[in-house]
Amino acid sequence: MGDSHAVDIELLARQLREELADAAAPAPRLASGCPIVIAEVGEPTRNVDPEEYAPQHVSIGPYHRIRNPHLARDDEKIRTLDDVMSAATAGATLELEDYLGEVARLEDRARSCYAHTFERQMHSAAFVRMLLLDACYVLVRFGRVAEAAGRRGNGGGGAPGADGHVQGGPHRHCRSRTEAPSVGGDMMEAVAVVRDVLYLAENQIPFFVVDTIHRLAVPDAGVSAADAIAGYVRELLQGQQYSVATPAAAEPGNLLHLLHVHFTPTALSPPTAGGKVTGGRRPVGRWRTATEYHCAGVGFRARPLGGKGGACSILDVKLDSRGGALEIPRLNVDAETWRLLRNLMALEQSNPAVAGSRVTAYCVFVSQLACTPRDVELLSKRGIISHGLGGHSEVAERLAWLCRGVAFGADDPAGNYLYVKWQALEGRFQSRPRRWAAWLMLKYFSNPWLAVGLAAAALGLVCTVVQAVYSVLSYTPGGT
C-alpha cells in the first residue's frame, strides 16, 4: 500500500484516549441557588423560525456575544456602568475594583448556570467584564437605578416603594426605559430592548449577578433587584393583557423566568395515581378545532382578566359548571406574541423540573383550537382572539406552527393542567345526541326566519296528524 494510506497508530490512539478522558469526566452540574439552566434552543424548535430566538438589537450573556459581537453594544453598557456607580448611596466608598471583585467571585457559579461553560471561548476576564456590563444594563433599563440616583442628586427625596420604585415624584408611574437619564432612543428601540432582554431564552445572565450589583449600588433600597424589576414586568404584562398576577416574592433564575412565573393558571388539574391516566379515561389526543366544538354545541366566551372571579393570566382557561362553554381569556396577538410564547416554551423545555410545562400546555391548546381561518374568525367574534395582523389566515398559520418541534406529554396531568378539560370536552364531542341537537340549533334555529318556518311546519304536521286521528275515530263504532 502507498504512503497515502499510512496511519500513525500511536498518534491516533493518543487523540482517542484524550477524547475518552473528556467523555468520562463528569458533566458540569448546576450550582446551588441556580435552578434555571440557560441553554441554547434545540435545532428542531429553532429551525421552525430562527429569528424568534435571536436578538436583533443587543446581546445579553455569552451565546450571542460570541456569535454576533456587533450586538454587544458595549458603548451603551459602559454608560450604564457609570449610571450604576453614580447611583451608589452617598458616602459609599465602592470603587470599580469592588464591583469587579464581587462579580469575579461569582464566575464559577455563573458559568455553571449555562449548558456550556464557555471556558475556551471566553477567558475569565472577558466573562467577568461581560457579566458586570450586562447586569448594569439590565438594572438601568428595567430596575430604575439611574432614576433613583437622579432623585437623590436633585434632592427628590422619594423613598422606594414596595415594588422598589421611587414614589412621590413627578414620574411616579411606569415609563419607558428609553427615558432613563443615560440611555436615549425612541419607541422602536424600547420595543427592541424589551424583546431582546426580557423575551429571549438564550439572551440571559443569571439573576443573582444582577441582584449582587443592585445590592452593591443601592444597599439602602429596601428591596431586591427582583422586586425592583418585577414592578416593570407586572406593568408590562398588564398593559399587554397577558397577566395581572402578583406571584410570591422569590429570586428568579433570569429575566425570562421572572416573566414566566406570572403565567400560572389559578387552578391546576388534580393529580392522579402515579401521574398516569386512570379510571379508564381515554388517552389525550389533539384538541378539536373551535369550529368542531362549536358544531358539537360547545360555546365560547371571553373571560376577563382581573376582578372578582376573573382570570389572572391568559392561561386561566375555564369550563363552565355545565360543561357547555369554554371561558378563555382574550389573547392579544401582535408581532411579539409568537416570540414571547416560543421562548417561554423553550425555557420549560430546558427546565421541566423547575418551570413545568404549563405555558406549553396552553400553547398546544390554542394552536390546535385556532389552526384554521374559520376558527380564528369564530374566536375573534367571541372576543377571545384580538389581532391587527393582515387577516385571520395569517394568525391561523402562525398558531398552527407555534408548537412545532416542542416535546409535550399531554397524558401527564401533572404537566398538562388542561387534562381534565380535554376529557370533558371530548366526552361532549363524542355524544351523538348532543351533536345532533347542536346541528339542529345551528342549521335551523340560528336564523329566526328558518326557525319560524320550522315551527310552522311542525305545527302543520301536528294538525294533520290530529285531523287524521279524528277522521279514523269517526268511522269506528262508538265514534262521534
Percent of the chain at pLDDT exceeding 70: 78
Q: What is the mean pLDDT of residues 130-143?
A: 95
Q: How confident is the model at residue 295 (pLDDT cuts 50, 70, 90)?
A: confident
| Pure H helices in 218-330 | 225-240, 255-260, 290-295
CA distances from 251 to 34, 208, 225, 227, 317 (A): 10, 8, 9, 9, 27
- For the question of whether the overall pTM of this predicted structure is more than 0.85, the answer is no
- Whether 478 has a pLDDT exceeding 90, the answer reads no
pLDDT at 308: 83
Angle between helices 392-400 and 358-369 (to 10 degrees): 140
- Whether 238 has a pLDDT exceeding 90, the answer reads yes
The answer to whether 67 and 127 have CB atoms below 8 angstroms apart is: no
Q: How confident is the model at residue 296 (pLDDT cuts 50, 70, 90)?
A: confident
The C-alpha atoms of residue 470 and residue 468 are separated, in whole angstroms, by 5
DSSP 176: -
Q: Write out the three cell numbers for 394.
A: 395569517
Longest dimension (CA), the chain: 122
pLDDT at 21: 85
- Whether 117 has a pLDDT exceeding 70, the answer reads yes
- Whether 4 has a pLDDT exceeding 70, the answer reads no
Of 29 and 220, more confident: 220
DSSP 52: G
Q: What is the mean pLDDT of residues 112-126?
A: 91
The C-alpha atoms of residue 42 and residue 23 are separated, in whole angstroms, by 21
Least confident of 73-77, 148-152, 459-463: 148-152
Least confident of 89-93, 175-179, 354-358: 175-179
The C-alpha atoms of residue 207 and residue 227 are separated, in whole angstroms, by 12
- Whether 275 has a pLDDT exceeding 60, the answer reads no
Least confident of 60-69, 282-291, 366-375: 282-291
pLDDT at 327: 94
The C-alpha atoms of residue 28 and residue 51 are separated, in whole angstroms, by 29
Neighbours of 305 (CB within 10 A): 20
- Whether 179 has a pLDDT exceeding 50, the answer reads no
The CB-side HSE value for 247 (13 A sphere, CA atoms) comes to 21
Q: How confident is the model at residue 230 (pLDDT cuts 50, 70, 90)?
A: very high
Residue-range domain boundaries for the chain: 43-259, 273-433, 447-480
pLDDT tens digit sequence for 244-260:
998 887 889 999 999 99
Q: How confident is the model at residue 269 (pLDDT cuts 50, 70, 90)?
A: low
Q: What is the mean pLDDT of residues 442-452?
A: 52
DSSP structure string for 80-114: HHHHHHHTSPTT----HHHHHHHHHHTHHHHHTTB
- Whether 350 has a pLDDT exceeding 50, the answer reads yes
- Whether 152 has a pLDDT exceeding 60, the answer reads no
Sign of the dihedral defined by the CA atoms of residues 455, 460, 463, 469, in that order: negative
Q: What is the mean pLDDT of residues 85-106?
A: 84
The C-alpha atoms of residue 45 and residue 346 are separated, in whole angstroms, by 8
pLDDT at 168: 32
Least confident of 143-152, 390-399, 453-462: 143-152
pLDDT tens digit sequence for 40-54:
998 888 998 999 999
Least confident of 288-302, 381-395, 420-434, 449-463: 449-463
CA distances from 73 to 56, 82, 132, 193, 272 (A): 11, 15, 14, 12, 51
Average pLDDT, the chain: 81
Q: What is the mean pLDDT of residues 6-24?
A: 86
* Complete edge-to-edge strand list for the sheet that includes strand 299-303: 299-303, 325-329, 318-319
CA distances from 426 to 79, 110, 451, 459 (A): 57, 47, 29, 36
The answer to whether 300 and 381 have CB atoms below 8 angstroms apart is: no
- Whether 180 has a pLDDT exceeding 80, the answer reads no
Percent of the chain at pLDDT exceeding 90: 50
The C-alpha atoms of residue 318 and residue 300 are separated, in whole angstroms, by 10
Q: Which residue has the cell 418551570?
A: 355
pLDDT tens digit sequence for 317-339:
998 877 689 999 999 999 899 99
Q: How confident is the model at residue 128 (pLDDT cuts 50, 70, 90)?
A: very high
> CB neighbours of 86 closer than 8 A, spacing ≥ 6?
146, 149
- Whether 425 has a pLDDT exceeding 50, the answer reads yes
